[in-house]
Chain A
Amino acid sequence: MTITYIVRVENRPGVLTRVTEVFRRRAFNIESLTVGHTEMPGVSRMTIVVETDADAGRRMEAHLYKLVNVLHVDTVTEQPSVFRDLAMIKVAATPETRSQVMQLVDVFRARVIDVSPASMVIEITGTEDKIDGFVDVLRPYTVLEMARTGRLAMRRGVSEPAAAGGASAAADDVAAA
């Protein structure tokens, strides 16, 4: 199954390496990983997607908690959450095909952010499924280049526990599960 972790870490040198090292060392393959700032100064947020089973997923949460610089781990796989991926897609588009591509851009609520004589760059935000679907319909026009952020995730509502308080309870959940 696909498991999504939101991992809040202290923003210190080497923390990204420490986190990815745990996945490598325990033989997990990371499908996608994004890192960025959060609402709290000095705290970075990673969204990490892995393909594994539920037991191994819970153990990985416990492994992540063992890292000194990891503040909080939220496994949002089965929680009400929103997921978004952002892609920039460069597609071949001549004056003859440009308008057809623009129609597809409208249908998928994407945006054209650059146009040049033989190509255009499109920005699209959405779930991975939606972006995969968009790429499929663009393929006949020849996709020249694509860059994707990978999944960003956030729980819905105000259910996110505070960084320190929820931590040991979450670790006990791992054990009790």
Chain B
Amino acid sequence: MLTGAQIIWECLVGEGVEVVFGYPGGAILPTYDAMLDYPVRHILVRHEQGAVHMADGYARASGRVGVAIATSGPGATNMVTGIATAMMDSSPVVCITGQVASALIGSDAFQEIDITGITLPVTKHNYLVTKPEDIAPTIREAFYIARSGRPGPVLVDITKDAQQAACEYVWPPDPKLPGYRPTHTPRPDAIQQAIDLINRAERPVILAGHGVILSGATSIVRELVERAQIPVAMTLLGIGGFPASHPLNLGMMGMHGEAWVNTAIQEADLLLALGMRFDDRVTGKLSTYAAHARKIHVDIDPSEIGKIVKVDVALVGDVRDVLNRILPSVAPTDRSGWLGHIRSITGDCAVRDITNLPDSGHLYAAHVIQDLWRETIGNTVVVTDVGQHQMWEAQYYRHEEPRSLISSGGLGTMGFAVPAALGAKIARPDAEVWAVVGDGGFQMTMAELATIAQESVDINIAIIDNGYLGMVRQMQEFFYERRYAATPLANPDFCKLAEAFGLMSISVSKRADVIPAVQRARQHPGAVVIDFKVEQEDSVYPMVPFGGALQDMIRRPSPIAETGASG
């Protein structure tokens, strides 16, 4: 006989869990007490949102399921932002929450909350467990659902009495879920249609999304690309799924994608979408999106097919599996005319690129990111927050490996970077991990600096500090006549703050100091916070205005026309 609490740990250990991120409280105390007898590392967070972001970062860095634990009531509700973040980006996370004793459910007991009700729309599935004998099969199902098919978060809410009561324990058999269909196999006629479209296309573009990384399809995408000479555009979460240095990699598409990438998409006669979902930040105005292109959509989730963009051929299945079926029939094709045309439309992009401008004494975020890339490229994971710095990172840090960029794409959760970077480092202790974060987002979860210090986690944090909520300020600049409502930030001294947590800190305000600071941070054996004080009113270019057509992007002003500070 084991208690429910012991069964929880038996199951977690049985699932191969080595680390959990959590925060104790009354309704989860039996489980915390039992934890001491099991070989699982517990990372004590400072806020439950951080616990889920850490589990999410752990999952995205490693491909394994991340686990977060919290108590009932506020512990559980604090998790919701983290769970929604994982849901939007298809990240496998299992959250375990304590619940008040089953006899008290429905009575508005102290710290009682209906967390399965609250998280219904932001979990792949969730459970309320009230009996110890249900714990083991439920946890096995939760892990199976979280990591199979299109991954996502699963929450298991376990009452305190179920944790305390004892029952017989056996490792449950593989879950049998008659209604759960994690994967599909595309129909042979659809495969053939796709092959015909690819072989006939004159101006094809591959749109590579997160699914390429989740399915481990990098090498087969590369085979396809090289055989058929098809250029690749990436979504934000697709970055890393195809090497940046590959000559057929165009770069990121969409709202802040480079001009030639979006132009290629608009001029294409075939889009081959791989594990991406035509987010509005990717398509711009739908009625003018790739109007001349036939569209093949490969996605594991049937409900994504036709959701935003009407497609000609739908291949429902795992990207790698689908490409394995297509590749043998794809003809080697010379598309040098199309590729040459794309090269020719880069135009004056290089002239306008801020990294090619003469040093004006200003420190631009793009400089910081580019220098960081030059110094750290290799076995490095970059975790970004949300906003301008996120886009600059996507533009200027050239990722060669899958799972080397972790970012909150779908939900756009500020405060994600610091805890997710911590989780990524725990998952891959041999990798160098950098959090790149704005001064706004950093302050949303900076309490986790205490977790970093307590657990001696060796990550480096680059604050791109412009004294504004920069992306919102940029929108105010372009669309609200520079009326900066609630975007200027009066920040604390981030260096003193880091020191208060016992972390090393460096302040940088000149370009010449960027590389030495990065080098010092890399040599330092513990966590380092670098405060990069960058140009305050710089903007991310190019930019497709919200709801605008992809070709109507706002370009960075040409240096010839430029007068003084950019903007």
Contact = CB atoms under 8 A, between A and B. Distances in A.
A126 B84 CA distance: 45
Interface in A44-75: 55, 58-59, 62-63, 65-72
A10 interface: yes
Interface stretch (B91-99, B178-186, B547-555): B178-186
B178 A164 contact: yes
Interface stretch (B41-49, B231-239, B298-306, B477-485): B298-306
A168 B124 CA distance: 18
Contacts of A13: 128
B307 interface: yes
B178 A66 contact: no
Interface string A160-177: 000110011001101111
A25 B121 contact: yes
A167 B184 CA distance: 10
Nearest to A67: B179
Main secondary structure of the interface of A (DSSP, over half): helix
Given A164-B178, A175-B316, A68 B145 contact: yes
Contacts of A167: 179, 181
Interface string A8-33: 01100110011001000100000000
Interface string B302-321: 11011100000011100000
Give the one of A18, A71, A72, A172 with max B CB within 10 A: A172
A71 B181 CA distance: 10
A65 B301 CA distance: 10
A175 B305 contact: yes
Contact of B314 (A63, A71, A175): A175
Contacts of A10: 178-179
B179 A70 contact: yes
B456 to A, nearest CB: 40
Interface string A114-148: 00000000000000000000000000000000000
Nearest to A69: B179
Interface in B313-331: 314-316
Contacts, number: 73
B302 A65 contact: yes
B215 interface: no
Nearest to B122: A25
A113 B509 CA distance: 86
Nearest to A10: B179
B178 A17 contact: no
Given A65-B181, A176-B190, A17 B302 contact: no
A18 B307 CA distance: 21
Given A58-B306, A175-B314, A71 B179 contact: yes
A95 B125 CA distance: 58
A71 B120 contact: no
Give the one of A25, A72, A175 with max B CB within 10 A: A175
Interface of B: 116-117, 120-121, 124-125, 128, 145, 177-181, 184-187, 190, 301-303, 305-307, 314-316
19 contacts: A14-B116, A17-B120, A21-B121, A65-B302, A66-B303, A67-B179, A68-B124, A68-B177, A70-B179, A71-B178, A172-B185, A172-B186, A172-B302, A174-B302, A174-B305, A175-B186, A175-B302, A175-B314, A176-B190
Given A71-B178, A163-B178, A164-B178, 10 more contacts: A10-B178, A14-B128, A17-B120, A18-B120, A65-B303, A69-B179, A167-B179, A175-B302, A175-B315, A176-B187
Nearest 7 pairs of A and B residues by beta carbon: A62-B303, A175-B314, A62-B302, A175-B316, A71-B179, A175-B305, A171-B302
